[in-house]
């Protein structure tokens, strides 16, 4: 996928192409019957955010921006959260609507741009994003917009997949080689060439410390910023993926401890950035 910088009709159509015909995926059911790396990523992520929201948020009025299929909002709605979902892509928003309708869940769905949020100041207890801000060259503007619509004392919550060296960097090499070998075996020479040409970053290179700086500048306090996700995605096939899933289930406690660790080595190893903070209360 090419790098996408939100804010133009052209890039909106790229997101539409990505979300079109996406099947409904009940993340709650997937988590309950977790088998694969993908399942466990969502299990750890949703359960961890639920714990943070319950501990730190002043209420349950949640905005998820760049919601896509709204898996996190689905999980939170099942736990009594009042969810509003915003996306720049009509197709992405329709995916979220289909998901909520299929689960008989209530929610509000808003087509909009994170750089110009169409909500009043101090509207939400929580504003959450999973895997969106890494597509912005300028993260300062959207962070300030997020903070604007947060209530004083509200919770800012963010996960991004940065362009940095991590354990996933090595795993991506394995995935690329496996895909290339499969196509070589089938003599699909042009596809092999395309695979290696497509190996390029799709995210921005803002560091964890730069995100923290922008959060501080926007008036956020009590900032927790860590590198998380110690186990990579691998190309193992169906049977191998399930075996890997069993190993991950055994290592879940280690995974959670890694995510909570402030040790500097996690910044090298970890795949994602997880950041949460509180909007300073006005005097």
Q: Are residues 134 and 172 in the same domain?
A: no
Residues spanned by the domain of 175: 165-200
Q: Are residues 210 and 71 in the same domain?
A: yes
Written as one string, the DSSP assignment of 173-203 is: HHHHHHHHHHHHHTT-HHHHHHHHHT-S--S
Q: Are residues 113 and 172 in the same domain?
A: no
User: Residue 3: what pLDDT?
Assistant: 29
Q: Are residues 109 and 187 in the same domain?
A: no
Total tally of structural domains belonging to the chain: 2
User: Residue 10: what pLDDT?
Assistant: 36
Q: Are residues 106 and 155 in the same domain?
A: yes
Residue 1 domain-assigned (yes or no): no
Residue 127 domain-assigned (yes or no): yes
Q: Are residues 250 and 169 in the same domain?
A: no
Q: Are residues 130 and 244 in the same domain?
A: yes
Q: Are residues 63 and 194 in the same domain?
A: no
Give pTM, 2 decimals. 0.84
Cβ burial, residue 162 (10 Å; 0-12/13-18/19+):
buried
Residue 92 domain-assigned (yes or no): yes
Q: Are residues 18 and 112 in the same domain?
A: yes
CA torsion through residues 29, 30, 34, 40, sign: negative
Q: Are residues 120 and 67 in the same domain?
A: yes
Tell me the mean pLDDT per 10 residues along the chain, length 283. Answer: 32 54 72 92 96 98 92 95 93 88 93 92 96 87 95 96 86 67 63 52 72 95 96 89 95 96 90 96 59
Q: Are residues 60 and 173 in the same domain?
A: no
């Amino acid at each position: 996928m090419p790098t996408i910088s939100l804010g133009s009709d052209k890039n909106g159509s790229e997101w539409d192409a990505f979300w079109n015909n996406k099947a409904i995926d009940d993340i709650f059911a997937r988590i309950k019957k977790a088998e694969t790396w993908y399942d466990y990523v969502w299990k750890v992520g949703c359960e961890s955010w639920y714990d943070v929201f319950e501990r730190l948020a002043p209420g349950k009025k949640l905005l998820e921006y760049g919601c896509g299929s709204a898996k996190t909002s689905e999980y939170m709605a099942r736990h009594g959260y009042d969810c509003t979902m915003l996306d720049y892509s009509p197709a992405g928003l329709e995916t979220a609507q289909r998901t909520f309708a299929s689960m008989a869940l209530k929610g509000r769905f808003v087509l909009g741009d994170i750089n110009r949020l169409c909500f009043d100041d101090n509207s939400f207890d929580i504003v959450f994003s999973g895997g969106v801000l890494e597509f912005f060259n300028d993260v300062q503007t959207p962070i300030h917009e997020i903070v604007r619509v947060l209530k004083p004392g509200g919770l800012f919550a963010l996960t991004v997949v940065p362009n940095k060296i991590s354990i996933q960097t090595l795993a991506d090499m394995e995935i690329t080689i496996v895909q290339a070998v499969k196509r070589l075996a089938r003599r699909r020479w042009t596809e092999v060439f395309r695979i290696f040409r497509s190996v390029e970053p799709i995210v921005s290179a803002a560091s964890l410390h730069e995100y923290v700086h922008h959060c501080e500048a926007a008036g956020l306090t009590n900032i927790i910023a860590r590198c998380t996700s110690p186990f990579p995605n691998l190309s193992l096939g169906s049977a191998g993926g399930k075996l890997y899933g069993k190993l991950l289930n055994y290592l879940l406690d280690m995974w959670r401890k890694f995510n909570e660790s402030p040790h500097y080595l996690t910044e090298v190893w970890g795949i994602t950035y997880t950041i949460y903070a509180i909007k300073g209360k006005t005097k």
